[in-house]
């Protein structure tokens, strides 16, 4: 504990947030995952709050323990941890175990919220808009995705970090209350609709198979499918890829390679057009 009160200013908080934002997943291992990134994000505060080397080393060990969550939404946990470390350094009844317990208790729920909102909703929506803009070969599509994604992530994580610092553990309530749960569910459904629209608009697959009946009638399989269920084959492709990735653990790289091989074989044998 410091003999004189030490407070963190906006510059210190921005340095903590920037270190986490830039390097949260830079040192990954099965043993610790994002723990070293979290510790690095705490270092500007730890150096200012603890002048005693022993206290500083203790704080570093505390924040180098196992940690894993969604980095952008998870910035709120970093802000809370910085606020609690400041209180601890100034003699308030906050111990290191309480800070660690808070991190461990929140990293799972925050990861679930972040994974459903960002990879499950935000990224598909931004990608669908970017793909539509790039359909004619325009560079506006990728530029839109890069700029909009980074603008949302940077501003959002900064706001959450500061919110966590100011409000402490109460700030989590805004992410897990009933109103926010309904909003997350609505946004997740919106992401599903967007992905369905993207699949129908940009996944193209047709078959060249033809059959001649005994009466000499030439049946085009693709025309028959379009009359019964338009865009059935693209739907089957999307559903099949989802099944193998979600239920069978197929990696995205293996999925792309598999589709490339199947497409080549289908064209070679005259199945696909």
Q: Tens digit of pLDDT for each residue in 114-161?
A: 887 888 788 888 888 888 888 878 899 999 999 999 999 999 999 999
Residue 263 within any structural domain of the chain = yes
For the record, the structure tokens of 199 come out as 């699949």
Last residue of a domain, one of 159, 185, 202: 202
Please determine, for residue 191, whether its predicted confidence score (pLDDT) is greater than 70. Answer: no
Stretch 198-218: mean pLDDT, rounded?
Answer: 77
Last residue of a domain, one of 155, 183, 202: 202
The pLDDT, as a whole number, for residue 103 is 87
| Residues with Cβ within 8 Å of residue 93, at least 6 apart in sequence | none
Q: In this structure, are 141 and 91 located in the same domain?
A: yes
Q: In this structure, are 239 and 132 located in the same domain?
A: no
Q: In this structure, are 179 and 216 located in the same domain?
A: no
What one-character DSSP code corresponds to residue 212?
E
The pLDDT, as a whole number, for residue 54 is 93
Q: In this structure, are 188 and 249 located in the same domain?
A: no
| Residues with Cβ within 8 Å of residue 172, at least 6 apart in sequence | 76, 80, 106, 109, 110
Q: In this structure, are 187 and 221 located in the same domain?
A: no
Domain that holds residue 73: 10-202
Residue 3 within any structural domain of the chain = no
The SS3 of residue 129 is helix
Residue 34 within any structural domain of the chain = yes
Residue 4 within any structural domain of the chain = no
Q: In this structure, are 250 and 157 located in the same domain?
A: no
What's the pTM?
A: 0.68
Q: In this structure, are 265 and 178 located in the same domain?
A: no
Q: In this structure, are 61 and 153 located in the same domain?
A: yes
Q: What's the burial of 249, exposed, middle or buried (CB within 10 Å: 0-12/13-18/19+)? A: exposed
Q: In this structure, are 76 and 148 located in the same domain?
A: yes
Q: In this structure, are 147 and 223 located in the same domain?
A: no
Q: In this structure, are 188 and 230 located in the same domain?
A: no
Distance, in Å, from the CA atom of 79 to the CA atom of 184, rounded to the nearest integer, reads 22
Stretch 156-174: mean pLDDT, rounded?
Answer: 78
Q: Evaluate the CA torsion angle 142, 146, 147, 149 in order and state its sign.
A: positive
For the record, the structure tokens of 269 come out as 């044998």
pLDDT band at 179 (very low <50, low <70, confident <90, very high): low
Q: In this structure, are 55 and 152 located in the same domain?
A: yes
Last residue of a domain, one of 202, 227, 242: 202
Within a 13 Å sphere around the CA of 183, how many CA atoms are in the beta-carbon half? 9
Domain count, the chain: 2
Q: Which of 93, 38, 27 is nearest to 69 (CA)?
A: 38
């Amino acid at each position: 504990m410091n003999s004189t009160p030490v407070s963190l200013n906006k510059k210190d908080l921005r340095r903590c947030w920037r270190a986490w934002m830039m390097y949260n997943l830079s040192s990954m291992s099965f043993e610790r995952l994002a723990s070293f990134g979290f510790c690095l994000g705490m270092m500007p505060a730890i150096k200012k709050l603890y002048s005693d080397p022993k206290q500083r080393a203790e704080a570093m060990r505390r924040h180098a323990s196992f940690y894993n969550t969604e980095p952008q939404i998870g910035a709120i946990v970093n802000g809370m941890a910085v606020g609690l470390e400041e209180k601890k350094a100034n003699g308030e009844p906050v111990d290191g175990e309480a800070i660690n317990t808070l991190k461990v208790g929140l990293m799972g729920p925050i990861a679930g919220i972040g994974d459903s909102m960002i990879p499950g909703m935000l990224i598909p929506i931004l990608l669908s808009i970017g793909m539509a803009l790039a359909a004619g070969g325009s560079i506006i599509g990728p530029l839109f995705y890069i700029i909009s994604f980074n603008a949302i992530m940077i501003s959002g994580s900064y706001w959450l970090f500061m919110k966590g610092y100011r409000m402490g553990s109460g700030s989590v309530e805004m992410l897990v209350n009933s109103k926010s749960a309904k909003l997350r569910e609505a946004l997740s459904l919106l992401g599903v609709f967007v992905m369905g629209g993207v699949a129908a608009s940009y996944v193209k697959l047709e078959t060249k198979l033809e059959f001649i009946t005994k009466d000499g009638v030439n049946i085009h399989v693709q025309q028959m499918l379009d009359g019964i269920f338009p865009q059935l084959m693209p739907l089957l492709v999307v559903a099949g890829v989802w099944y193998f990735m979600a239920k069978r653990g197929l990696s995205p790289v293996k999925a792309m390679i598999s589709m490339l091989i199947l497409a080549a074989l289908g064209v070679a044998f005259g199945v696909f057009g």
